[in-house]
Structure 1
Amino acid sequence: MDFNFENIDNQLLLQLYKNMLKPRMIEEKMLILLRQGKVSKWFSGIGQEAISVGITMAMQSYEYILPMHRNLGVFTVRGIPLYRLFAQWQGKASGFTKGRDRSFHFGTQQYKIVGMISHLGPQMGVADGIALAAKLKNKKEVVAVFSGEGGTSEGDFHEALNVASVWRLPVLFCIENNGYGLSTPTAEQYQCRDIADRGVGYGMESHIIDGNNILEVYTKVNDIAHSVRQNPRPVLLEFKTFRMRGHEEASGTKYVPKELLELWQKKDPIHCFSEALKEQGILNKSLEMQFKEVVSNEIEEHLKVAFEESEIESNETYELNDVFQMFDYERIIIDKKIKNIRFVDAISSALYQSMQKHDHLILMGQDIADYGGVFKVTEGFIKDFGYERVRNTPICESAIVETAMGLSIAGMKSVVEMQFADFVSSGFNPVVNYLAKSHYRWGQNADVVIRMPCGGGVGAGPFHSQTNEAWFTKTPGLKVVYPAFPFDAKGLLNTAINDPNPVMFFEHKGLYRTVSQDVPEDYYTIPFGKAMLLRQGNDVTVVSYGAAVHWAVEVLDDLQNISVDLIDLRTLQPLDTQTVFNSAKKTGKVIIFQEDSLFGGVASDISALIMEHCFEYLDAPVKRVASLDTPIPFSNPLEENYLPKKRFKKILIDVLNY
């Protein structure tokens, strides 16, 4: 291996060596502890230390790095106390996830590190968001994000590169090409000769770097990072290296030809560099042993601290309270100046006034800039807020959700418009696995609102008409809001944007231009978890939300002799169970009316809750009224039969007569 020692002083050379030595020695110790059952799992980066160390040393300490599970060198170079890493790997409280996640699945704002999730790909889109925040704040900073060659087969990789290229984001996409994705060789991952070739397709600069040569890694990344700080742009870096151990220790390496392992053993980054340093007279045996002794003592000292820490104790209240970041709701008094506006105008007004209130709020979505979005919610916003804050996005739902997460990590708010709620399926993974879980895992909130134009009744067919709230009410860590009236839509959207937690905000597009109401012109908020009792009566309780509320009103207007408690839930997570229970106990008969299909919908859980808490007060079975358990059809006759509006009246009368 050739090392170019020009223009690098001896102190830096020795620091590069020591920084590689430390993660190697920690790993060797971890492998012993793994065999002793003192560590549950280990993903080895032995043989790849030069990449983690070289990149991290080329970065500024205040710049974010998003590593993977073979990048121990990132954590050690950033100076994280070893006892905290050891505690993390043992599930102890002084780790970074309070025992809730393992390995390197954590982040730390203190050290500007954002850890991975097992789905790999979302890391790259999150890096886009952090880089976008740096660019918007005019910071001359670069973001480095890691992936293996296997991860480049995921759609998130391609979406993230596309977004970074279109928006000229200062991201270094660092791909560790180590030969195998678990046991799958590169020949079965991609057909191009080098991963770096893919940069051409994105109009992106790319480089191939010897990932086992610490000087080449450090000097090239240092030069590139300096250039990107001055001229923001994404760069694709492919590091040629090899994984000397199994994907994780239980996997082994039987699938790797022996001669290939022997070849790469000769290219060991630490051995090759130490020998070169000795040849240059910079390192000798005595100094080498001294370095190793210092690291060994540090490992043993910090292991002792971690081992002596007691096992973590579970506390149900503590666990539940950590799912969301604490939010101190601020009640904004409603002004008397009102105007009769449509549902769509209420949404637009909330967004506009929130953009005025929060100068670090970013709107992202397909066609939302000059065009104003397909429903014209953001029409005219460009004039007042500009293209930087009202951002057209490529059709990359997954990467845009991830970008929103990155903005939150960097201290900014965002609202993402799904053109139709149906399309969230293309960004489902980062919603339920990144936004929803980050605060519980390592205390990082996701200050993101995802707007979800949804619902049927407009003849739009299976891919533009779903009301898919139940996908998200099932996921701890997400708040779900579903207003039925313009007044609520505006106040609840303002609250959603103020809330530092991820909010799925459902807007029934069938209500956009069909429902109007007197709404305060000025800014105001409405608290989550407070249902609205629209009508009061004693015969039966009807619980609903969204368009189904209006359908219920139409039927009840035709049945004037029925005394009904009509509850509009407004928010589904958190859910106002107390209002529901109080009404159920009063009337003794309950119908839950939803637009979503029947099985597995929100109505099922509400029904179960009523049965658990109000059973002795009931005079009839709790009934659910919902759409058919089919995809939503296109033609009007089929859609009318699919939707539950007509069935509600019959079931209502049946329950009353029970």
Structure 2
Amino acid sequence: MHFDRKDYSNETLLHLYQGLLKPRLIEEKMLILLRQGKVSKWFSGIGQEAISVGSTLALEPDEYILPLHRNLGVFTGRNIPLDRLFAQWQGKNTGFTKGRDRSFHFGTNEHHIVGMISHLGPQLAVADGIALADKLEERPKVTLTYSGDGGASEGDFHEALNVAAVWQLPVIFMIENNGYGLSTPSNEQFRFKQFIDKGPAYGMQAIQVDGNNVLEVYDTVRRLAEGLRRNPRPVLIEALTFRMRGHEEASGTKYVPQEMFTEWAQRDPVENYEKWLMQEGVLDEEARLRFRETIKREIEEGLRIADATPMPTADVALELADMYAPVGELRGESIEPRAQETDAVAVSPLNSQFAILNSSLSTTTDKRYVDAISDGLRQSMERYPELVLMGQDIADYGGVFKVTDGFVGQFGKGRVRNTPLCESAIVGAGLGLSIKGKKSMVEMQFADFVTCGFNQIVNNLAKSHYRWGQNADVVVRMPTGAGSAAGPFHSQSNEAWFTHTPGLKVVFPSNPVDAKGLICAAIEDPNPVMFFEHKLLYRSLTAPVPDAYYTTPIGKAALVREGDEMSIITYGAGVHWATALADELGLSADILDLRTLLPWDEEAVRKTVEKNGRVIILHEDTLVGGLGGEIAAWIAEHCFEHLDAPVQRVASLDTAVPFAPPLEKVFLPQQRLRQTVEKLRNY
């Protein structure tokens, strides 16, 4: 192994040595503790320390790094107190996740580190978002993110590199090529010879380094980072290395030929660098022993403090509260609809009855549902200069539904960004923007396409605050719903996928007034919000909407009509189906518009159930697993003594959404709603 010191001082060389030695000695101690049952699981980075140490020490302390399992050197290189690291691994409160996650599955903004989730690939896109925030603010900073050779097979790898290249983001993608993805060798992972072959295909520079040579890694990253700060762009570094332990200790290493261990043991990054330093006279035996004893004392002291810390005691209220970031005082004046039939706004073909309650916002303009959303987005962009809009075709084209038409002229392409077709990367970038204090709105061209970003939403955005206190200030807009003969992939009502996910908020306005107020509230909210917009309402529904900025409260239902025969609990287009049927049948019914599906308004549901005793829960989503089942179960548990009849659910057929209009008409629940109303009337 050849070490080229160039013009680096002895102090720098010894700093790198200390950086290498600390994670190695910690790992040796952890392997002992693992055998003693004092650590539950361990992913060893022995043999790979030079990559994380060299790259971390090459960056400025306030530049973000996104590490993986085998990057202990990132955490020690950022001088995280060892007692906190050990407490994290033991599941103690003094760690970084309050015992809620293990290993390196945490972040710390204090040390500018964003830890991984088990899915390996998603953090690459988060790095894009961090770098985008720096680029928008013209901060000369670099973001470094790691991927293993196995994890690079995931689609997130492709998406993140593609976005970084298209947007010219200052991201260093460090590929730790150790030859195996758990037990699967490289020749069963990919057919190309080396990762640097990928760089030119993405339009980025690619460099290969000896990942066991700490000085080569340090010098390469330091030099590249200096260039990227001046001229933002992404770079791929392939670091060739080998792990001397199993993927994790329980998996063993029987699948690796013994001769590979023999070969790579001779290239040990710590031993070779130490030997070279001694040959060069930079390190002597006395100093070598002193460094080791100092680090070992630090390890023992850290363990003493961590061991003395008790395991966490579960506090249910705290566990529930920490799923969401606290919502501060909303900036916009709040308005709500009230149940009122006089002065109603009759709209064909869908009817909606509501009146604006707050007279201080009396200046209104007739707006379609789609225009109300656009108005709310525009005013939010004006109020929040940190807000960035991202989505396919949303810039000059204005989006397929023209919600952002004209926004580029007012706010520029920096804040209104066309994206490649890569939903996962863009949602992940939204989390990265949040880490740097920005807000983002991500438009799914159709709600159906959210499946391509599902992992980022349910495992990264939704869990981030609970895991390590980092909110995800991201609104995902979801044009949804059937009725336009668009078939199985442009018509789904998929809100129940997300109402099952703690950490998300799910909103579904039924009218223009709420559409504007709720989009403004969603953007103000520091938590991830799934914002559903029924496509059929976009241009078929018009109402007087306040011109001023305002918010509609998330989590609060609206009683849009009062009656005493029964209660219809619904949302979205269901509000209009129920209202139209009530008019046709002369039905006196409470029609409760949930508006927010997570968290849904339990008190409003309780009130209408206790009043009428007969309940229909209506939604366009399919029946099995739909939100109606959850609400019906809750009513049975909490309001049973007030019921005069079984709770009825009305929903779409449990099929995919058909294309042909006659089939789609049967799929949708309107006819079954009529039958159920008559059944409940006669019960």
Same fold (TM over 0.5): yes
Q: Which runs of structure 2 are paired with 1:292-331 in the superposition (5 Å)?
A: 292-330=292-330, 331=332
C-alpha displacement of 1:278: 0.8
Q: Is the 8 Å Cα contact of residues 481 and 506 (structure 1) preserved in structure 2?
A: yes
Select which of 532, 535, 549 maps to 2:575: 549
Select which of 533, 538, 555 maps to 2:564: 538
Q: Is the 8 Å Cα contact of residues 597 and 628 (structure 1) preserved in structure 2?
A: yes
Q: Which runs of structure 2 are paired with 1:631-642 in the superposition (5 Å)?
A: 631-642=656-667
Find the counterpart in structure 1 of residue 644 from structure 2.
619
C-alpha displacement of 1:328: 2.3
SS in 1 for 2:672: helix
C-alpha displacement of 1:201: 1.0
Matched, 1:52 2:52: yes
Matched, 1:647 2:669: no
Select which of 581, 588, 613 maps to 1:563: 588
Find the counterpart in structure 2 of residue 90 from structure 1.
90
Find the counterpart in structure 2 of residue 211 from structure 1.
211
Task: Give per-residue Cα distances to partners, 1:452-486, cap 9 Å, x unaligned.
Answer: 00000010000000010000000000000000000
Matched to 2:495, the amino acid is: E
Find the counterpart in structure 1 of residue 351 from structure 2.
none
Q: Is the 8 Å Cα contact of residues 480 and 533 (structure 2) preserved in structure 1?
A: yes
Find the counterpart in structure 2 of residue 137 from structure 1.
137
C-alpha displacement of 1:563: 1.6
SS in 2 for 1:489: helix
Q: Which runs of structure 2 are paired with 1:239-278 in the superposition (5 Å)?
A: 239-278=239-278
Q: Which runs of structure 2 are paired with 1:400-549 in the superposition (5 Å)?
A: 400-549=426-575
Matched, 1:68 2:93: no
C-alpha displacement of 1:124: 0.4
For residues 505 and 138 of structure 2, the distance between their equivalents in structure 1, rounded to whole angstroms, comes to 32
C-alpha displacement of 1:69: 1.0
TM-score scaled by structure 1? 0.99
Q: Is the 8 Å Cα contact of residues 369 and 387 (structure 1) preserved in structure 2?
A: yes
C-alpha displacement of 1:281: 1.0
SS in 2 for 1:2: coil
Find the counterpart in structure 2 of residue 582 from structure 1.
607
Find the counterpart in structure 1 of residue 377 from structure 2.
351
Task: Give per-residue Cα distances to partners, 1:520-547, cap 9 Å, x unaligned.
Answer: 0110111111111111111101000001
Matched to 1:579, the amino acid is: A
For residues 631 and 311 of structure 2, the distance between their equivalents in structure 1, rounded to whole angstroms, comes to 37
Matched to 2:324, the amino acid is: F
Matched, 1:605 2:630: yes
Find the counterpart in structure 2 of residue 339 from structure 1.
365
SS in 2 for 1:388: coil
Task: Give per-residue Cα distances to partners, 1:569-613, cap 9 Å, x unaligned.
Answer: 000111111111111111110000000000000000000000000
Q: Is the 8 Å Cα contact of residues 172 and 235 (structure 1) preserved in structure 2?
A: yes
Select which of 587, 591, 608 maps to 2:616: 591
SS in 2 for 1:387: coil
Matched to 1:605, the amino acid is: E
For residues 259 and 512 of structure 1, the distance between their equivalents in structure 2, rounded to whole angstroms, comes to 66
Q: Is the 8 Å Cα contact of residues 542 and 591 (structure 1) preserved in structure 2?
A: yes
SS in 1 for 2:520: helix
Task: Give per-residue Cα distances to partners, 1:330-374, cap 9 Å, x unaligned.
Answer: 251552110111000000000000000000100000000010000
Q: Is the 8 Å Cα contact of residues 405 and 446 (structure 1) preserved in structure 2?
A: yes
For residues 146 and 202 of structure 1, the distance between their equivalents in structure 2, rounded to whole angstroms, comes to 17
Task: Give per-residue Cα distances to partners, 1:485-533, cap 9 Å, x unaligned.
Answer: 0000000100000000000000000000001111001101111111111
SS in 2 for 1:250: helix
C-alpha displacement of 1:329: 4.0
SS in 2 for 1:94: coil
Find the counterpart in structure 2 of residue 175 from structure 1.
175
Matched to 1:165, the amino acid is: A
For residues 24 and 43 of structure 2, the distance between their equivalents in structure 1, rounded to whole angstroms, comes to 13
For residues 537 and 197 of structure 1, the distance between their equivalents in structure 2, rounded to whole angstroms, comes to 69
SS in 2 for 1:239: strand
For residues 528 and 627 of structure 2, the distance between their equivalents in structure 1, rounded to whole angstroms, comes to 19
For residues 148 and 446 of structure 1, the distance between their equivalents in structure 2, rounded to whole angstroms, comes to 26
Q: Is the 8 Å Cα contact of residues 582 and 588 (structure 2) preserved in structure 1?
A: no
Matched to 1:515, the amino acid is: L
For residues 292 and 25 of structure 1, the distance between their equivalents in structure 2, rounded to whole angstroms, comes to 8
Find the counterpart in structure 1 of residue 346 from structure 2.
none
Where has structure 1 moved over 6 Å in runs of 4 or more? none
Task: Give per-residue Cα distances to partners, 1:393-413, cap 9 Å, x unaligned.
Answer: 000000000011100011100
Task: Give per-residue Cα distances to partners, 1:624-648, cap 9 Å, x unaligned.
Answer: 0000000000000000000001110
For residues 225 and 530 of structure 1, the distance between their equivalents in structure 2, rounded to whole angstroms, comes to 49
Task: Give per-residue Cα distances to partners, 1:89-136, cap 9 Å, x unaligned.
Answer: 000000000000000000000000000000010010000000000000
Q: Which runs of structure 2 are paired with 1:149-168 in the superposition (5 Å)?
A: 149-168=149-168
SS in 1 for 2:404: coil
Q: Is the 8 Å Cα contact of residues 431 and 461 (structure 2) preserved in structure 1?
A: yes
SS in 1 for 2:675: helix
TM-score scaled by structure 2? 0.96
Matched to 2:600, the amino acid is: L
Q: Between Structure 1 and Structure 2, how many residues are aligned? A: 657
5+ long unaligned stretches in structure 2: 335-359
5+ long unaligned stretches in structure 1: none
Matched to 1:90, the amino acid is: Q
For residues 432 and 3 of structure 1, the distance between their equivalents in structure 2, rounded to whole angstroms, comes to 45
SS in 2 for 1:206: strand
Q: Which runs of structure 2 are paired with 1:27-42 in the superposition (5 Å)?
A: 27-42=27-42
Matched to 1:570, the amino acid is: R
Find the counterpart in structure 1 of residue 337 from structure 2.
none
Matched to 1:526, the amino acid is: T
Matched, 1:657 2:682: yes
C-alpha displacement of 1:6: 2.0
Find the counterpart in structure 1 of residue 356 from structure 2.
none
For residues 252 and 21 of structure 2, the distance between their equivalents in structure 1, rounded to whole angstroms, comes to 23
Find the counterpart in structure 2 of residue 115 from structure 1.
115
Matched to 2:613, the amino acid is: G
Q: Is the 8 Å Cα contact of residues 329 and 527 (structure 1) preserved in structure 2?
A: no
For residues 5 and 156 of structure 1, the distance between their equivalents in structure 2, rounded to whole angstroms, comes to 37
SS in 2 for 1:363: strand
Find the counterpart in structure 1 of residue 340 from structure 2.
none
Matched to 1:345, the amino acid is: D
Matched to 1:332, the amino acid is: E
For residues 202 and 14 of structure 1, the distance between their equivalents in structure 2, rounded to whole angstroms, comes to 37
Find the counterpart in structure 1 of residue 350 from structure 2.
none
SS in 1 for 2:112: coil
Matched, 1:630 2:630: no
Find the counterpart in structure 1 of residue 106 from structure 2.
106
Matched to 1:127, the amino acid is: A
For residues 240 and 643 of structure 2, the distance between their equivalents in structure 1, rounded to whole angstroms, comes to 68
